[in-house]
Amino acid sequence: MSDSDVTREGLRGERTQREALTGAKAGRRRHRRGRGGRGGRGGRGEQPMVPEAEFSSYYGKPVLNKPTWKPLDIAGYLYLGGLAGASSLLAAGAGVTGRPALARPAKLGAAGAISLSLVALVHDLGRPARFLNMLRVFKPTSPMNVGSWVLSGYAPLALGAAAVDLTGRARRVGSLATAGAAVLGPAVATYTAVLLADTAVPSWHEGYRELPYVFAGSGATAAAGLALAATPAAQAGPARRMAALGAALELGTFQAMKHRMGLSAETFEQGKAHRLLRAAETLTAGGAALAVLSGRLRDRRLALAAGAALLSGSAALRFGVFHAGVASAKDPKYTVVPQRERLTAREG
């Protein structure tokens, strides 16, 4: 081997594929503010609002470490919490207004959902002792800690209410438990929004003002869906109304949130999150409409279809929001561009 394999054209016998990019070319990417107009429905054909901005990153690497949570566990946990919390409200209302056929599925739903959500959480943590570990302190700056305390107050009440309903014994205790669960239920449904928002993940944090309402609405539609599917039409009136009101709250506040969020709303319109959220919108709106219709026509099959649509719509929303956040953490654009703009504005 007297002479080198490396020639001016690259390795002998090979062709240089490309030139390695350095500095300005490798690190800087064009970022287009394509999402003009309203609703963000594909910005195609629209003129960008501002000229294309260049943004820098370190070889396109994310600035943030992406959430390590498993989607099924944590998005599932958010969903089940909403379902349980709002179901407890239905159960209490049904108790007060004398609708036993509505109260029972609502109580069972709340108990089942909260148990499953604890299973999901423990599965994500690895072992049950780790959940108890969270109760060794009380820390209002940690939504997960606050949530653990709320859950450990709520879960026994929801389970107790369901147990009394099934056995028919200790009715006084049962109604106390039902009332207690109804008091804590809304907190169980909405604190999960703070859980997501209190992070540096752009698509979760930026929406912190509206996200609790979105989750409240979504919890209401899920609970209404479950109740609709399991309650005879004569007693399901409140569930039907809850479906309509919950859907309006969820869809309305979600739109408001996207409008306010700016760049980080983009991840709601892309990829897996987009497909899930579009499905959530259709299922929730369709489910609410079917729920109202089922009341008019007194049709069990319609009520069942409405229930299924509402339950899956609410789940799709949680998974969509979850995935949008992960996507926004993975792309440095969502961290750098808004911060750079803020900095430039401040420096004048």
Instruction: List the interface residues with another protein, window 235-294 (CB under 8 A).
Output: 238-239, 241-242, 245-246, 249
Instruction: Round to whole Å and give the CA distance between 64 and 51.
Output: 27
**Residue 327 found at the interface with another protein (CB under 8 A):** no
Least Å from the CB of residue 58 to another protein? 3
Least Å from the CB of residue 297 to another protein? 18
| Number of residues binding to another protein, judged by CB under 8 A | 89
* Binder among 115, 145, 175, 235 for another protein (CB under 8 A): 145
Name which of 199 and 278 has its Cβ closer to another protein: 199
**Residue 76 found at the interface with another protein (CB under 8 A):** no
Instruction: Round to whole Å and give the CA distance between 312 and 286.
Output: 11
Q: How far is CA 161 from the centre of its chain?
A: 27
Nearest CA among 51, 35, 83 for reference residue 269:
35
Name which of 140 and 348 has its Cβ closer to another protein: 140
Least Å from the CB of residue 61 to another protein? 6
- Coil, helix or strand at residue 240: helix
Instruction: Round to whole Å and give the CA distance between 257 and 248.
Output: 14
- The encoded tokens of residue 108 equal 């069972």
Binding mask 10-29 for another protein (x = CB under 8 A): ------------xxxxxx--
Q: Which stretch binds another protein (CB under 8 A): 41-49, 108-116, 167-175, 195-203?
A: 195-203
Q: Are 274 and 41 in contact (CB under 8 A)?
A: no
Q: How many CB atoms lie within 10 A of CB 68?
A: 8
**Residue 332 found at the interface with another protein (CB under 8 A):** yes
Least Å from the CB of residue 267 to another protein? 14
Q: How many CB atoms lie within 10 A of CB 305?
A: 19
Q: Are 197 and 280 in contact (CB under 8 A)?
A: no
**Residue 310 found at the interface with another protein (CB under 8 A):** no
Least Å from the CB of residue 252 to another protein? 12
φ, ψ of residue 53 in degrees (nearest 5): -100, 150
**Residue 166 found at the interface with another protein (CB under 8 A):** no
Please give the C-alpha separations between residue 273 and each of 11, 187, 222, 255, 268, in angstroms, as whole numbers: 44, 26, 19, 15, 6
Least Å from the CB of residue 125 to another protein? 6
Footprint of another protein on 205-234 (CB under 8 A): 205, 208-213, 215-216, 219-220, 224
* Binder among 171, 271, 297, 339 for another protein (CB under 8 A): 339
φ, ψ of residue 35 in degrees (nearest 5): -80, 80
**Residue 167 found at the interface with another protein (CB under 8 A):** no
Least Å from the CB of residue 299 to another protein? 20
* Binder among 43, 63, 116, 152 for another protein (CB under 8 A): 63
Nearest CA among 334, 232, 217 for reference residue 281:
217
